[in-house]
Structure 1
Amino acid sequence: MSIEYGEYRNNCKEKMEKIKTPCYLKIKHKLSLLFSDFEDISYNDFWLMVDNPNKKLPQKKFVITDKFDYRLPIYEINHNPFTPELNKIISEKYHLIEKYVKTQRDIKDYIVDYVNTKTPKTVILYLIDGLSYWDYINASIKYNVEPIFVNGKTTTENGLKNIVYGKNGIPIAKELYKFGYKGYGQTYWNRKNKLTDILFRYISEKNIFYYDENIHDIIVKNKQSKKYIQIYKIGLDDDAHKLREVSKKSIINKIKEIFENINILRDILNQTNQPYLIVITADHGIKWDFTKKYRKGSHGNISFEECFVPLIIIEG
């Protein structure tokens, strides 16, 4: 049976309620623990505490997820926490999510570490305006994806700053300049836009373009040089704000169109026969409401759809 757009099937809560603790728990992702009142503890810490006669065991529902042996029962939960089921607890346990998942502010560190170890000729950060992890999943794009948590407000400005400036407040272009990378940019916004100026602050204005063809030329003509290209593309945010009617089919078609353009970019990079890295993500997701006329999409609040964006890594 096929699953329609937006459907999900989980029964994590019911299964976890049957588990007796302490125990070993096999789960796909630790975020599933937020659906219960279990206390995750490492194997070593638990047994050090149990084996210490002078230490009283706290009254908590301990589960051990990192190592297993014969001393406790083992349970296995086949649960995907990254579905709209997360909306049942996200507001209540919002402050705990960063304990278990990667966030937007981790992306810059990944890029810098990758460059430091592999030194690709071209590094591309492809930013999409308004694309949720859930919409990406429903579009069935072939690239592997990881859910990434938006630090703080699910707004364009906050999300983009999280990604570009990371944890230490230094833009990626400046970080990569130390490794010899020349910065280029592409944006659909006017260069004099305040947020655009913040995002492309360390990239020369003469190196910022508005068309795909300009970026393709830079890649082909400078294939031997190290370059960092920061691309900001219109996504679903524009449709959410401006269109009076948005359908589930149109959302999927829009996402497929975005990735058709990314595939063209990837093909051009492959033709250079030089190593490259493409990092694709979004500033925030969109929460769609198909029950009310003319109120189809929004962001800025706390929901699974708004708070989780995709991270796609393409290496060549």
Structure 2
Amino acid sequence: MQEFKNKVALITGAAHGFGMAIAEEAAKRGMKLMLLDQDEASLKQVAERLGKEAEVKSLRVDVTEESQIDDAVDKTIELYGEINLLVNSAGVAVPGPIWELPVRDWEWILHADLMSQVYSLRKVLPIMMKQEDGGDIINVASLAGLVTSPLMPAYYATKFAVVGMTEATAYDLQLAKQDKIHLHVFCPAFVHTNLDHSEEYRPDKYAEPGDPYYQSEAFKIGQAAAQKDIATGMPLEDVKAEIFKCLEENKFYILTHKGANPLIVGRAKNVVDNVAPNLEVLASLPDVTHDPNASLFAEKKAD
């Protein structure tokens, strides 16, 4: 995507985190925005703030409901006539081992982090196929869609699914000769978003307050770890330039923590070498998931 001024961006999860950051940069570049989020109060604040420099509309949408996404896309087309950039940013995180995490939490994260993207892709791709200039789509995944670690199997499952779905869809677009539609999958490590506040946005339909898991030590440990990791992550402000640079250069994978690249390569090597996940090996590696400039080889170079 080379030109941004007066182009239309539809962004989910726009009241916080990556969705808000992308909306800010899009507004700065003169795009017209349709912002979606279920946090109506925060969404209104973001829309009013960005409305001072760009044309902005917003809708309260629960992305786990396909009909609400369909309606939002229809309203965007009715208002702007096209969608040039779709950003699937809405998502949540739930910690806990698979033998303890309630099934309702699995349903919540699968619907919020994966199926929400399925719903919007099913609706928006046919529109972009008819547009002369096609369009761009950013699916927000995570480094957790490329490598794994303990404590959050549900999160890893959805993020791996998003990466795989995006890659497979890229092949399908090539088969359909839709070369003007460009896909991008965003795979950051820890960034200072509000992902650790997911519980504040849990819809009632996924609530099970009586489940003993939410009073368990595993839940408390998971919540504390998430808060620490997010609070010490890369500043949210720093991701904007990288995302839009990758849009301009039509990069498929958007990676903000280059120091983690050896982890990605290492996992692929483990697959072909038939090497099982090893917690001791993982724990021995330097932490490259918070600082974008960190390197797995920093300690070796210092010796």
TM-score normalised to structure 2 length: 0.35
Q: Of the two structures, which has the highest relative contact order with CA contacts closer than 8 Å and spacing of 6 or more?
A: 1
More strand by share: 1
- Which protein is richer in helix relative to its size? 2
